[in-house]
């Protein structure tokens, strides 16, 4: 029985207050999308763990099958279920009893939660005061959803890899940039007529009364604007970091910023655009500085300590994906 009819039947026989029914309607409708997203996220998180373990060591991610890093025993399928196996095994290998890092369930859970957040950002659930909730997912919404889940997967992976091994593999950053660009081209296909056009003079039907066909002077059509704009965003974001890298080298005569960080910011720009990438850079730098400060205060670091900047840029990228649009809108309203 459809959810709404079931809830409505209970409202009719007064076993359920109408307000609660409305709330349940909203929550359960969203849950119908969030739950599969979460389960899919756990599976992707499990695969991400394999990438995190093998990519920095330049090992194949497809062969051999997952095995215990201590005793090399191939992990049985029932010991490889995301989250659950780690809990059932009490974080120990079934064969050698060596501890299994909490990184494995943490990454799985993070990707699961990310998939839920990406779903909530992409679908629109409208709850009329009467009648069933309406869920809309446009073509643009589908592309946004795919882009967000890929971005989150890559950023969570890069976050952990830079923290643990100080590497940001090209297999993630460059592949990610390419995928993001393909998705932007796909998004351009689904632009509505005149959507996202770049005009020299705005449409002004008042210049000649009755003129409703004046579309202004189109410099770039919607698809051109979107695709070229994103290319420019990638180049500009990478350029900013290359400039900082160059300045640091001139001042300190050593490498402070890796090329991996440059590619990471370019990837964030490819997925989200220029200003969200700047926001990610800004948030990442603040977080990294706070981390460096706590290390210095606890005398755990000096000026030569290598900081995993990529980890903080990745966190900045995740925050920019979640909160970038409202934050940037709020900031530009101040100007």
Residue 93 vs 283, nearer CB to Zn ion: 93
Can you list the alpha helix ranges (DSSP code H) found in the chain? 3-12, 18-54, 84-88, 103-122, 139-165, 170-189, 222-252, 259-272, 274-297, 309-334
Of 178, 184, 177, the closest CA to residue 140 belongs to 184
Residues 67, 70, 92, 215: which binds Zn ion (CB under 5 A)? 70
Residue 77 vs 246, nearer CB to Zn ion: 77
* In the complex, least distance from residue 122 CB atom to Zn ion, rounded to whole angstroms: 40
* In the complex, least distance from residue 95 CB atom to Zn ion, rounded to whole angstroms: 5
The token pair that represents 273 in the structure block: 């655009």
Work out whether 71 is an interface residue with Zn ion (CB under 5 A). yes
Site map (CB under 5 A) of Zn ion, residues 29-68, x = contact: ---------------------------------------x
Distance CA 112, CA 45 (A): 7
Residue 17 vs 99, nearer CB to Zn ion: 99
> Which region among 90-98, 115-123, 179-187, 286-294 touches Zn ion (by CB under 5 A)?
90-98
The token pair that represents 274 in the structure block: 């220029």
Residues 3, 95, 232, 327: which binds Zn ion (CB under 5 A)? 95
Number of residues this chain uses to bind Zn ion (CB under 5 A)? 6
Residue 92 vs 306, nearer CB to Zn ion: 92
Residues 20, 39, 96, 235: which binds Zn ion (CB under 5 A)? 96
Of 180, 187, 188, the closest CA to residue 277 belongs to 180
By DSSP bridging, strand 198-199 and strand 218-220 are antiparallel
Residue 16 vs 68, nearer CB to Zn ion: 68
Cis peptide before 295 (omega within 30 of 0): no
Q: Find how far residue 294's CA is from the centre of its chain.
A: 27
Distance CA 190, CA 300 (A): 52
* In the complex, least distance from residue 99 CB atom to Zn ion, rounded to whole angstroms: 10
Judge contact between 275 and 328, C-beta under 8 A.
Answer: yes
Residue 71 vs 286, nearer CB to Zn ion: 71
Give the residues lining the site for Zn ion (CB under 5 A): 68, 70-71, 93, 95-96
């Amino acid at each position: 029985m459809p959810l709404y009819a079931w809830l409505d039947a209970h409202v009719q026989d007064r076993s359920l207050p109408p307000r609660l029914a409305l709330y349940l309607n909203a929550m359960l409708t969203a849950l119908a999308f969030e739950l599969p997203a979460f389960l899919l996220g756990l599976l992707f998180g499990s695969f991400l763990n394999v990438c995190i373990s093998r990519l920095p060591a330049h090992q194949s991610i497809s062969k051999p099958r997952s095995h215990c890093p201590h005793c090399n025993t191939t992990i049985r399928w029932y010991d490889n279920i995301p989250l659950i196996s780690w809990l059932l095994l009490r974080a120990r290998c079934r064969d050698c009893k060596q501890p299994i890092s909490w990184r494995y369930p943490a990454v799985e859970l993070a990707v699961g939660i990310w998939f839920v957040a990406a779903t909530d950002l992409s679908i629109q659930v409208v709850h009329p005061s009467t009648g069933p909730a309406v869920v809309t997912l446009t073509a643009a919404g589908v592309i946004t959803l795919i882009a967000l889940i890929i971005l989150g997967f890559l950023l969570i992976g890069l976050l952990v890899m830079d923290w643990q091994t100080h590497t940001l593999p090209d297999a993630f950053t460059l592949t990610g940039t390419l995928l993001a660009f393909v998705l932007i081209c796909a998004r351009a296909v689904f632009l509505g007529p005149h959507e996202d056009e770049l005009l020299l003079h705005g449409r002004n039907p008042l210049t000649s009364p009755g003129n409703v066909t004046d579309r202004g002077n189109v410099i770039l059509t919607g698809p051109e604007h979107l695709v070229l704009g994103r290319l420019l965003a990638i180049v500009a974001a990478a350029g900013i970091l290359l400039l900082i890298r160059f300045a640091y080298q001139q001042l300190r005569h050593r490498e402070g910023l890796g090329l991996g960080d440059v590619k990471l910011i370019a990837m964030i720009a490819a997925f989200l655009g220029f200003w969200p990438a700047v926001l990610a850079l800004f948030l990442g730098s603040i977080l990294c500085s706070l981390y460096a400060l706590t290390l210095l205060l606890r005398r755990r670091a000096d000026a030569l300590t290598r900081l995993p900047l990529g980890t903080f840029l990745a966190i900045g990228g995740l925050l920019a994906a979640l909160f970038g649009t409202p934050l940037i809108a709020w900031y530009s309203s101040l100007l």
